[in-house]
Structures are given as structure tokens and as C-alpha cells.
Structure 1
Amino acid sequence: MVKESDGFVRAIARGFAVVEALGRPPGRQTMSEVASIAGLSRATARRMLTTLVALKYCEADGRYFSLRPRALGLGLSYLNALPYWGYAQRALEDLRNEFGESCALAVLDETEIVYALRLPARRILSANLAVGSRLPAHLVSLGRVLLAALPPGQRAHYLATTEFRKVTPRTIVDARALSEQLRRADADGYAWVDGELDPAICGIAVPVRDQAGKVVAAISINTISGTIDEAAARDRFLIALRRTAQDIRTQTTPAG
């Protein structure tokens, strides 16, 4: 953990570490478990938990501590602060209804994507994937689009320092091959991934830009692998995806 300084308050960092520890399965932890997960001493974990209980962010039940509904507000504060989030939900619902396929919106957090919206249409992805769920960025089309939008130096650093885990036989784990995929996604304005996270799932994604043209998120359509290839997915979905991304961008542009 970073040392305390004029620009860093260690107590706040410890408090968030405890909240993150309590958010792990099975949803409740003992004080010793919280200390171990958060990398804190038992005494420090006790003080953090006592404070969070007093603030009603968590509750104690015997030896166990768990988050209270108030903690949900921390995540909702981020979502509500996204200028495009409210409209994006309606836009993705329209997209899902148009094609009858699962749609999602995600943002990049270092080497992972985080779902900000996910609207399933078929039982093709794990039911555990929901708002806030994380996946390694290189495994899915949403992540490829977001990685492709990184400045060249950041993209090179990502490729040089990230360990790419093979999840299915089709998962790309070679940094040079992945670099070529990101180059293509950047040039083409979309990414296609087939069977690299789950052999039964494929998806196509496009970037969502803010009013200044910066990529701030990505949206995708996902369907069953083997029912469609990249060319057919591009013909069927790409125009609608780009239209939806542009609609989201337009809705977040201040009037005047």
C-alpha cells in the first residue's frame, strides 16, 4: 500500500480495501478473513470494520461481517456520474429488441473490462455476469475495442506486461498476434471475438466516444458461436451498433 503523504490518505485506502474484501464470495467474512484479503493487520481491520458498521455500510452477525445495501450507493455513484449511462440503457434495450441478442456496455479498468450495462436475451453467458462484473479485456470484443483505443505507449505497455491466460483452445495469448488484432480493431472501428472466453459465444463491439471524440466505453452484441461468422456479423449488426454508439454520444453532448 502506498505510504501516507499530503496527497494520499492511507485510512481511506484501507477502508476501500475492507469494502472490496467484504464484496467477495461468499458475501460475508470474519475479521481475520477481511484482514487477510485486504492485507491489513487484525487491529487495523477491526477499526475499519467498526467504522463501516457505525456508518451503516456493513453489519456484524456474530463473527461475520457483510455489506449492507448502503454500500451499493458507492457503485451507483459511479454509474450515475457517467453522462451516457441513463440513455445507454434505453438504447441497448432497443438494440436487444431489434435483434433478439444479448447486448452490453463496458468500460476499461487497467487490464479488465467492467460491465456498466448487460442485457441478456439468451442464456449464453454465465448468469454471474452482471453490472460490475469483470473479465480480462483480451478475451472479449468489448475489451479489444477499448484496448485498441489506448494511446500507442499504453497499448504497448499492456501487451508487454500482461499475462494472457488461455481459457479456450481459441484464446489468443501471443502478444504479437493480439497486437495485430488490436491494430485491426483500431483501423476497422470494431472488434470481433469468437470463442475465446467461451467456445459457445461470439461477439462484435464498437467504441462509444464522448463529445471530444475520446473512447469512453464500448457496446457489443453477443450470440451463439457457429451460427454466424465475422463477415455475417458485420453485415447484420455493425450499422446498428454504430448508430447506437452515435446516439449515445449525441445524447451526452450538451446543448448549445
Structure 2
Amino acid sequence: MATTESESFVRALARGLKVIEVLGQSAPRRTVAEIAEAADLPRSVVKRFALTLTELGYTGHDGKRFWLTPKVMTLGLSYLYALPFWRQAQLALEELSAEIGQSCAMSVLDGHEIVYVVRVPTYRILRASPTLGSRLPAHAVSMGRVLLAAEPPAALDAYLASAALKRLTHATITDPDLLRAAIGRVGESGTAWVDAELDESICGLAVPVRDADGSVVAAANVSLPTGQFSEAHAREAFLAPLRQTAARIRASM
């Protein structure tokens, strides 16, 4: 494995990617000085990388400010297209959403967050409704609990020791021991129900998506308005079709 101290680590590549990340945050157009401050890199280094990215078509430049171009989307889409189940998952979740009349999604775990790789909304539940590529804290959402439950014990220990378990609502579990217990229950049942922990207006029911070998590679969920569905009602109405959809995605692998 390449670390920042190893000979295998390519610092130039890491710095170039950092410039892209910074340009994807906050202000759409930034000067070299602004990028350098946000990336914690020397201005001369940032200027070389930004101009190189412009030459390659990943950034635009007006002589003063740089911005990302649509070509950057190919980097993210390359990940989706590389997932052997993504196209089938998109179709399966669209059909599930049409069948049950609720928003559906699929996500993967990346560090302390989940990342949406499929999102099929029916109406806006959250104030900032997640879209493809959106990130949410894993501890406060149903898909996060499912993905954490699939982690090896050592990885889960590391997560609980390092993750910032931020309180987002009155219901958010922030105590590591209580969260571990909740994740353990998800592992035993194979499903996760989270109510009003990310946002007081939303609850969710999630199940794992497994590959042909039985390993959990993603999580799928149904998002619901809090107050309209109890856990028992949601499980009765949506668990069977949600599991069938997960099985259908698995079969496509």
C-alpha cells in the first residue's frame, strides 16, 4: 500500500487531485491564491497544476480565475460505470420507486460517509435533497448502518474511534457504545430502520446489496416522511419489495 511516506506515493498526482477537489467546493471560480489557501499548497505549485488541468480540458481559465469543466464528470462516471451492478441497480430502483410510490436509493461506504450512487426521488423530503454523488454521515442514516454492520470488527472499531458522531437532531445516536449496539442489531436482522436522526422530517428502511459471493457491496433504501410511517408499518409495506430489489441487483452480478 502506498502511504504519504512511501516511495510508491506520487505526490504530484495527489496534489493535482487536491486542486480538483478544492475547485469542486464552495465558490465556482477561484484564483490561484484562493485555491492555494484552501488546498494548503504553494501558489506556484497550484498554478502549474491548474494550467495543466486547463490544457487537459478539466478546468477553464479566464486569465485570473479557474473553474471545473464538464469533463471532470468523466472521472466520477468512470467509477459508476466500473460498478458491475450499477446499470441494473438504476433500473431496479426506478421500478421499485414506481411500484411503492416512495423515494429509493443505493449507496456505498467511503470513509465515515455514505455516497449515493443511485437516487430515485419521488418528492422532496429533505431541505437539501440528496443527489447522485451526495455524501451523508454514515452513523445517522439507514444505509450507513447497513454498510457499517458489514464491516470487519477491526474496521468498525476504527470507525467508532475516529468518526465525528455529530448530533444532527434530537434523535441522533452519538454515543459510540449505543451506536455499536444499534449496528449490531442491524447485523443480526439484516435491515436498518433509522427515524429522524439525520433530519427530523425523514426516516429510512435499508437492506444490504450483496455480490455473487455474498459480500455486502452497497446498501439500498426507501426514504419516507417521518410521522407518516411507523417502523412496523414501513417493514410490512416495503421490506419485501426492497429485499426483492436487492436480490435482483445481486443476480445481475
TM range (shorter): over 0.9
Q: Distance between the aligned counterparts of 2:4 and 2:83, measured in 1?
A: 31
Match of 1:77 in 2: 78
Give per-residue Cα distances to partners, 1:135-189, cap 9 Å, x unaligned.
1101110101000110011111111222211011011101111111100000000
Does the alignment pair 1:168 with 2:169?
A: yes
Match of 1:20 in 2: 21
Match of 1:141 in 2: 142
Match of 2:91 in 1: 90
1:243 alignment partner, SS class: helix
Q: Distance between the aligned counterparts of 2:4 and 2:144, measured in 1?
A: 32
| 1:48–1:128 Cα change, 3 Å | farther
Q: Distance between the aligned counterparts of 2:93 and 2:105, measured in 1?
A: 7
Over the matched positions of the two proteins, sequence identity in percent amounts to: 50
Q: Which amino acid aligns with 1:187?
A: E
Q: What are the within-5 Å matches in structure 2 for residues 8-157 of structure 1?
A: 8-157=9-158
5+ long unaligned stretches in structure 2: none
Q: Distance between the aligned counterparts of 2:164 and 2:69, measured in 1?
A: 35
Q: CA deviation at 1:99?
A: 0.9
CA RMSD of aligned residues (A): 1.2
Q: CA deviation at 1:61?
A: 2.2
Q: Which amino acid aligns with 2:182?
A: Q
Q: Distance between the aligned counterparts of 2:164 and 2:90, measured in 1?
A: 33
1:83 alignment partner, SS class: coil
Q: CA deviation at 1:128?
A: 5.0
Q: Is the CA contact (8 Å cut-off) linking 1:101 and 1:221 kept in structure 2?
A: yes
Q: Is the CA contact (8 Å cut-off) linking 1:91 and 1:248 kept in structure 2?
A: yes
Q: Paired residues, what number?
A: 251
Q: Distance between the aligned counterparts of 2:47 and 2:240, measured in 1?
A: 54
Give per-residue Cα distances to partners, 1:26-83, cap 9 Å, x unaligned.
2221111111122211010001001000101001124211111111000000000000
Match of 1:185 in 2: 186
Q: Is the CA contact (8 Å cut-off) linking 1:105 and 1:219 kept in structure 2?
A: yes
Q: Which amino acid aligns with 2:123?
A: R
5+ long unaligned stretches in structure 1: none
Q: Which amino acid aligns with 1:210?
A: D
2:218 alignment partner, SS class: strand
Q: Is the CA contact (8 Å cut-off) linking 1:4 and 1:10 kept in structure 2?
A: no
Match of 2:242 in 1: 241
Match of 1:230 in 2: 231
Q: Distance between the aligned counterparts of 1:105 and 1:29, measured in 2?
A: 33
Q: Distance between the aligned counterparts of 1:30 and 1:141, measured in 2?
A: 40
